[in-house]
Copies of this chain bind each other. A is one copy, B any other.
């Protein structure tokens, strides 16, 4: 039989006998790249359910494999990709030689061994995103990752030209995360059938064989995940959603089919470093599922996913219990939580995890009140979340004669917020790598930063002509307090007009009272008397 190793850039072959092993030189993949082992196996019966196929990966050469002093063995589930092709994919997390050995109930897929050489990642590859500093994110190589996400629920199931347009739009946008659904969606402005379906069956009869996946559907999904990866965009994949309501029935599969689908999805996608798992959109609106189903799903994904991708679940009106250990960050819909930074901070303390307000209503003009924010209001919400130490998501719902709304289908962006979110992104890129923390959350939630080195103070809808230079003590046990003599530069950020204005000279601290420090000469900061101003302070060495 024939086995192919497919890496992102190399296609290689090995010939293996039942007991002999030949590995060609050049089986090379980047750290956090996608290694793929392709094998041919049985086509009779139902290969999706009849054949068990997986591989064990271990750092070190084959000669070291199974030695008692060897490194940890990673067991990775493979999957059937149709046409007699079986694949197992792997996301190696460290450079060097790795070895593998397959395990299968099919003899011809069992006991295949080989090596791969994992090389240093290329410049744009920082690995998967992880939680960092409790409330924030960083890529696996330590590079900070500060999500500016958007939502295009089923962009990849639209006509090809529209998909390409969406990718072009994304390339020019500030967005570095995109929420979208694995399954097709049926909802307002989105009642077209997809070109492909995830299962084998008869679409017109909605008669699906949930035990037989349609590999082409998932291959296409993978292509789009790769496209996003090239753009530096994390794919926040929505695994289940309620916008089916029995039309196809993917929202009400039997539990065995749900679990099989999850295993298949993880087997296919866990080697893509930019994948995040969002178990559901509006989980509580899925009438045919119980809360305990999602707990089972979460535990299953956490167990299957050897690569430990970020894992969360998005709510309608009922929050999921984000304190559960398998949830890496809180993905939250709340229509009001980022109306001020004091509110935006509250869930952080509850969950002690990153809080991503993935849905805070959308910029747009549709009749539904969740889709008619002004651009100013959405940008305002992003900034409130930012200084509260949380992250906010974008969506756009401008009415359109062609029924193409960004939020659902992608296409082009029509709103005014993305440019301002690019400005915010530039501010975040220049902020402390540890993330922005609330400084005085019960008194002055407008202060974010890393005390006493960096402050970002957001004045929101206030339009003062002057800001009293004052720095609060950070909360007990958080950050270092300010001190007399510390010197700061001040910049005024017009978050709507996207300007940065430096205030001449330095500000020098002097203790004001038990809670605050001010400038020793009583200087304050002149402001333009317009809304949406922020003040950035940096401490001089």
Contacts and interface: CB of A to CB of B under 8 A. Distances in A.
Contact of A336 (B347, B441, B477): B441
Interface stretch (A16-24, A313-321, A460-468): A313-321
Contacts of A323: 321, 323
Contact of A476 (B316, B319, B346, B445): B316
Interface residues of A, number: 29
Nearest to A367: B514
A316 B442 CA distance: 12
A323 B337 CA distance: 20
Which residue among A347, A442, A477 has the maximum number of chain B CB atoms within 10 Å of its CB? A442
Given A342-B336, A342-B343, A369-B515, A319 B443 contact: no
Interface in A325-346: 334-337, 339, 342-343, 346
B317 A476 contact: yes
Interface in A278-336: 285, 316-319, 321, 323, 334-336
B336 A445 contact: yes
A350 B319 contact: yes
A80 to B, nearest CB: 40
A475 interface: yes
A377 to B, nearest CB: 13
A102 to B, nearest CB: 42
Contacts of A321: 323
A317 to B, nearest CB: 6
Contacts of A505: none
A321 B334 CA distance: 21
Interface string A455-493: 000000000000000000001110000000000000000
A317 B474 CA distance: 12
A365 to B, nearest CB: 15
A349 interface: yes
Contacts of A342: 336, 339, 343
B336 A443 contact: yes
A438 to B, nearest CB: 11
A346 B335 contact: no
Nearest to A324: B323
Nearest to A334: B442
Given A334-B442, A336-B441, A475-B317, A346 B346 contact: yes
Interface of A: 285, 316-319, 321, 323, 334-337, 339, 342-343, 346-347, 349-350, 367, 369, 441-443, 445, 475-477, 514-515
21 contacts: A316-B476, A317-B476, A317-B477, A323-B323, A334-B346, A334-B442, A335-B443, A336-B342, A336-B442, A336-B443, A336-B445, A337-B346, A339-B342, A342-B343, A343-B343, A343-B346, A346-B346, A346-B347, A350-B350, A367-B514, A369-B515
